[in-house]
């Protein structure tokens, strides 16, 4: 069977599934492999659960000739099928979003805005932004899609280049260049090169890039490209002029465009560029500013990204969807500006490799010299830092912090910031406050 034959079968199926236990009747199961699993082992189970076809790359598990298809590499096959589906839907404009921080928030804001104009907006769900999630996202695109917003994550160079070849984006935006996944990228220069792979693709294919004119890296690397610029500073070169608003008495992100003030439920000045970029893209696609304002102000973050709520008269900011040195620093700088008594509960920043110790030391140094009153630092990386202070308490593991907080109530405070890498799962401590 060639890709066209399989695509015809996919077209009448109920979708693609890579988890045999989640197989729906009439779906196609693709058996992927990883370091700790081999999906080929579950191909027979997938058929039993209703899959019309199981695609495998290990002939030891070839049990049923009629319902099994053997390929050389199931991941490559998944990519090829996604590319073919994108080719069939080449008329659908796709906006690709990448960057070190703020990808998911920006993607969701853009989708919310575009939904005010288009009835069929397709976008990346959850965190499906890697070499497996992206092809699955493409294959989830209905034929009646009017526009799509896709998020690209990466932890090593050439990954964005590969994902662009699958997505074939018509538009692109890089949120920023921060210290994320340093273990894979090796340096900040490696991070910049990686993110700019999106620019390389767009430039080569004469597509359009959205540019934050306040970011010198974006501005200088997009000079010869077809670009649409927003800026709060360089009004002479920007297509959209933004006024960023800041008030110490309000922690919500707000800005003004064309004399219209927009107040978001997002927390922190570090989210302002995410909001501004989404508004810019909405304006480019001719969504009215009135509808854009409504979309932004209706959007409420979830999944522990810049969420804000009040408990026992304490204003709590929880931002533990992810953490890296850049996002941690920006959150702390913002939190330090807020007036009132403040406590931080921070978890380790992961995937930093040889940079880990130094980056955690920098965070401790910042806290030591900040007006933050108490800091609880959780994880072996923070625990092994040499710098300390009377206001800093370190815990090797989260369970030790849980034991401590159960015996000691948190002192009366005005604000608490909770931030850490996803694997630390700091949201579990909220119930203990």
Is 102 annotated for ligand binding? yes
Whether the CB-CB separation of 340 and 164 falls below 8 Å is answered with: no
Three-state DSSP at 131 gives: coil
Q: How many CB atoms neighbour CB 140 within 10 A?
A: 17
Whether the CB-CB separation of 192 and 156 falls below 8 Å is answered with: no
DSSP symbol at 424: G
Q: How far is CA 40 from CA 72, 91, 268, in A?
A: 13, 35, 46
Angle at 371 between CA 267 and CA 338, to 5 degrees: 25
Q: How far is CA 339 from CA 158, 243, 250, 374, 413, in A?
A: 44, 23, 10, 15, 11
Pull the structure tokens for residue 381: 């990386």
Q: Which residues contact 220 (CB under 8 A, 6 or more apart)?
A: none
User: By C-alpha distance, which of 273, 275, 248 is closest to 262?
Assistant: 275
Determine which helix (DSSP H) or strand (DSSP E) holds 405, and give its type and residue range: helix 398-407
Is 103 annotated for ligand binding? yes
Residue 381, burial from CB neighbour count under 10 angstroms (0-12, 13-18, 19+):
buried
Is 190 annotated for ligand binding? no
SS3 sequence of 211-239: EECCCHHHHHHCCCCEEEEEECCCCCCCC
User: By C-alpha distance, which of 424, 421, 426 is closest to 179?
Assistant: 421
User: By C-alpha distance, which of 135, 138, 144 is closest to 123?
Assistant: 138
Q: DSSP states of 24-77 as a string?
A: PTT-EEE--B-SS-BGGGGHHHHHHTT-SEEEES-GGG---TTTEEE-S-HHHH
Whether the CB-CB separation of 33 and 78 falls below 8 Å is answered with: no
Distance CA 230, CA 213 (A): 6
Is 98 annotated for ligand binding? no
Distance CA 412, CA 234 (A): 44
Is 104 annotated for ligand binding? yes
Binding-site residues, in ranges, read 99-105
Tell me the binding residues for ATP. Answer: 99-105
């Amino acid at each position: 069977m060639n890709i066209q034959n399989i695509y015809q079968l996919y077209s009448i199926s109920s979708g693609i599934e890579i988890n045999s236990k989640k197989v729906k009747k009439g779906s196609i199961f693709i058996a992927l492999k990883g370091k700790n699993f081999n999906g080929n082992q579950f191909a027979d189970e997938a058929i039993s659960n209703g899959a019309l076809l199981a695609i495998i790359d290990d002939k030891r598990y070839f049990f049923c000739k009629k319902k099994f298809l053997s390929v050389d590499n199931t991941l490559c096959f998944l990519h090829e099928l996604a590319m073919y589906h994108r080719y069939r839907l080449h008329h659908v404009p796709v906006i690709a979003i990448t960057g070190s921080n703020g990808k998911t928030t920006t993607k969701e804001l853009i989708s919310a805005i575009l939904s005010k104009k288009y009835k069929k907006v397709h976008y990346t769900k959850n965190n499906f932004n890697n070499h497996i999630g992206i092809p699955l996202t493409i294959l989830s695109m209905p034929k009646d899609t009017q526009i799509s917003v896709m998020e690209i994550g990466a932890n090593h160079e050439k990954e964005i280049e590969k994902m662009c070849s699958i997505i074939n984006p018509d538009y692109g935006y890089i949120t920023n260049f921060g210290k994320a996944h340093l273990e894979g990228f090796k340096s900040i220069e490696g991070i910049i090169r990686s993110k700019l792979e999106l620019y390389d693709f767009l430039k080569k294919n004469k597509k359009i890039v959205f540019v934050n004119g306040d970011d010198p890296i974006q501005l200088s690397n997009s000079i010869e490209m077809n670009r649409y610029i927003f800026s709060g500073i360089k009004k002479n070169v920007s297509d959209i002029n933004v006024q960023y608003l800041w008030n110490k008495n309000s922690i919500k992100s707000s800005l003004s465009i064309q004399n219209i003030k927009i107040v978001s439920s997002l927390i922190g000045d570090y989210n302002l560029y995410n909001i501004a970029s989404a508004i810019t893209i909405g304006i480019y696609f001719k969504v009215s500013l009135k509808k854009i304002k409504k979309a932004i102000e209706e959007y409420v973050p979830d999944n522990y990204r810049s969420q804000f709520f009040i408990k026992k008269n304490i204003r709590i900011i929880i931002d533990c969807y992810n953490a890296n040195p850049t996002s941690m620093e920006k959150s702390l700088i913002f939190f330090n500006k807020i007036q009132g008594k403040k406590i931080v509960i921070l978890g380790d920043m992961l995937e930093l490799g040889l940079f880990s110790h130094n980056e955690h030391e920098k965070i401790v140094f910042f806290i030591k010299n900040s007006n933050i009153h108490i800091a609880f630092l959780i994880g072996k990386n923070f625990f092994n830092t040499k710098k300390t202070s009377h206001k800093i308490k370190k815990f090797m593991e989260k369970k030790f912090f849980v034991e401590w907080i159960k015996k000691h109530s948190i002192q009366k405070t005005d604000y608490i910031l909770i931030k850490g890498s996803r694997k630390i799962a700091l949201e579990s401590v909220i119930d203990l406050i």
